[in-house]
């Protein structure tokens, strides 16, 4: 169930801007997707091309949140938290290159032709403190700069400043659109309610069925209320144009076995 370019183009429609449009090389990243998936080849030599093999952060986690009190948050969709490159053993590193802590992400996206991605982010990538720009800057600086395949040395020499960050945000949106958590739960008759509660097994079963058999990790607040979900991948090739290969979560859900609340959004 790899996320192929054909499937993504169909999902995103004609308005989608391929991240590689920002690079001058007609061959994209030049990596292809025929090599091993990240974290799946323990014999990868130390000198492996980390521009085309995500390392050490090859356990990629796409996290969505269910915020019930964020103004403007869509009532029929979970929203984006980020796309994080955990190490294969579950540890992680952060803030890998402060020299690339870009500011004004919105302007960067617009200036490099990614206005449609920005518009989507303004609807589905929201900060619960009301400052989306600061949230995006944080996610790029903290997690985006840690992708080996997005290192500036992996880009064509004439790439515009920040092109790798633009590719990162494009990819985050791209992957998020393949994971319609709200719709998948709704297909199983599970929708937000102020009175109903659910078992962990019923929630995971619905998501496994809809996703083609992959198990995510659910997180709940102290009041047993659903708050976030994490979907996991390995990557074949580059973050820019590689294949995200779904895997089962390596971590346990933090929700209780029963009595889980899935509350409606207030704002």
Q: Give catalytic residue positions.
A: 81, 139, 143
Report residue 60 as tokens: 């990629």
Chain position carrying tokens 């990868």: 44
Omega of the bond leading into 18 within 30 degrees of 0 (cis) = no
φ, ψ dihedrals at 248, nearest 5°: -70, 150
Q: Cβ neighbours of residue 104 under 8 Å, at least 6 residues apart? A: 133
Rounded Cα distance between 117 and 176, Å, is 12
Rounded Cα distance between 213 and 101, Å, is 37
φ, ψ dihedrals at 124, nearest 5°: -125, 10
3-state secondary structure of 121: helix
Question: Dihedral of CA 99/101/107/110: which sign?
Answer: positive
Report how far apart, in Å, the C-alpha atoms of 76 and of each of 68, 94, 200 are.
11, 32, 21
Helix or strand holding residue 85 (H, E): strand 79-86
Residues in the chain: 267
Rounded Cα distance between 210 and 202, Å, is 12
Report residue 215 as tokens: 């198990």
3-state secondary structure of 205: helix
């Amino acid at each position: 169930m790899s996320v192929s370019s054909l499937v993504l183009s169909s999902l995103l429609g004609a308005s989608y801007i391929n991240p590689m449009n920002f690079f001058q090389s007609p061959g994209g990243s030049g990596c292809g997707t025929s090599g091993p998936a990240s974290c799946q080849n323990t014999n990868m030599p130390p000198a492996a091309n980390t521009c085309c093999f995500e390392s050490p952060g090859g356990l990629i986690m796409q996290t969505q949140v269910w915020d019930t009190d964020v103004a403007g948050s869509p009532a029929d969709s979970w929203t984006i938290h980020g796309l994080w490159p955990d190490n294969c053993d579950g540890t992680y590193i952060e803030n890998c290159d402060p020299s690339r802590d870009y500011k004004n992400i919105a302007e960067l996206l617009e200036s490099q032709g990614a206005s449609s991605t920005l518009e989507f982010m303004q609807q589905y990538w929201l900060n619960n403190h009301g400052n989306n720009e600061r949230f995006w800057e944080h996610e790029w600086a903290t997690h985006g700069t840690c992708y080996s395949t997005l290192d500036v040395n992996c880009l064509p020499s004439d790439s515009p400043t920040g092109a790798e960050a633009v590719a990162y945000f494009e990819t985050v949106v791209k992957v998020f659109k393949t994971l319609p958590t709200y719709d998948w739960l709704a297909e199983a008759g599970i929708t937000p309610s102020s009175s109903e509660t659910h078992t962990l097994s019923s929630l995971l079963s619905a998501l496994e069925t809809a996703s083609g058999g992959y198990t995510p990790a659910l997180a709940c607040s102290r009041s047993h209320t659903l708050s976030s979900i994490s979907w996991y991948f390995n990557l074949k090739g580059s973050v820019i144009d590689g294949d995200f290969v779904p895997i089962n979560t390596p971590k346990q859900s933090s929700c209780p076995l029963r009595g889980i609340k899935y509350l409606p959004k207030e704002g």
